[in-house]
């Protein structure tokens, strides 16, 4: 009976996602409590990386200085399986917020070493604030989640949430829902 109810709920969510023509994820599992956050630089006012993990999604913002490919990293507890990263940008034009890519790595800012794992596809906000969900596929052995802008400019994030790999129901309008 529980399996039938879950299947019915998944079908309803899939229909809703298809109607909205967007991919989304419903997080049933645990939100990871971050250890810390860091960034490649800090804008000249007080906009440290900790603002991206302070649970204030709308009124605080982490901002890097204007530079080539800035990044913001969230450290999670060791041995945490990383399923999804959900983030929000400060809004505004693409040149302020994207495009950007999410990586799981072994140190802050780790995006190009042989130990970094790219998560999902590059995200182009298009002026939207999000939220944007990027799948890391349950990667383990990576303690740092880095969001790196692919171009020169500022990187402005209001919220970064990392979810464990243990129970996310992914809904994609082009695929059958999976557990």
pLDDT, one tens digit per residue, over 131-148 is 999 999 999 999 999 999
The number of residues in the chain equals 179
pLDDT, one tens digit per residue, over 3-62 is 555 555 555 545 444 433 334 445 445 999 999 999 999 997 789 999 999 988 777 899
- Residue 67's contacts (CB-CB under 8 Å, 6 or more residues apart) are 40, 41, 152, 153
Angle at 101 between CA 22 and CA 52, to 5 degrees: 90
pTM of the model: 0.75
């Amino acid at each position: 009976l529980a399996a039938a109810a879950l299947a019915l709920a998944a079908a309803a969510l899939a229909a809703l996602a298809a109607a909205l023509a967007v991919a989304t994820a419903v997080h049933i599992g645990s939100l990871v409590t971050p250890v810390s956050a860091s960034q490649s630089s800090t804008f000249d006012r007080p906009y440290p990386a900790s603002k991206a993990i302070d649970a204030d999604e709308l009124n605080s913002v982490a901002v890097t200085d204007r530079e080539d490919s800035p990044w913001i990293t969230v450290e999670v507890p060791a041995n945490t399986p990383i399923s999804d990263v959900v983030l929000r940008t400060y809004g505004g034009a693409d040149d302020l917020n994207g495009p950007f890519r999410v990586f799981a790595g072994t140190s802050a800012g780790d995006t190009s070493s042989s130990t970094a794992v790219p998560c999902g596809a590059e995200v182009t906000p298009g002026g939207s604030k999000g939220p944007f969900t990027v799948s890391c596929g349950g990667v383990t052995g990576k303690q740092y989640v880095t969001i790196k802008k692919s171009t020169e400019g500022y990187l402005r994030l209001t919220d970064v949430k990392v979810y464990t790999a243990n129970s996310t129901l992914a809904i994609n309008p082009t695929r059958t829902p999976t557990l």
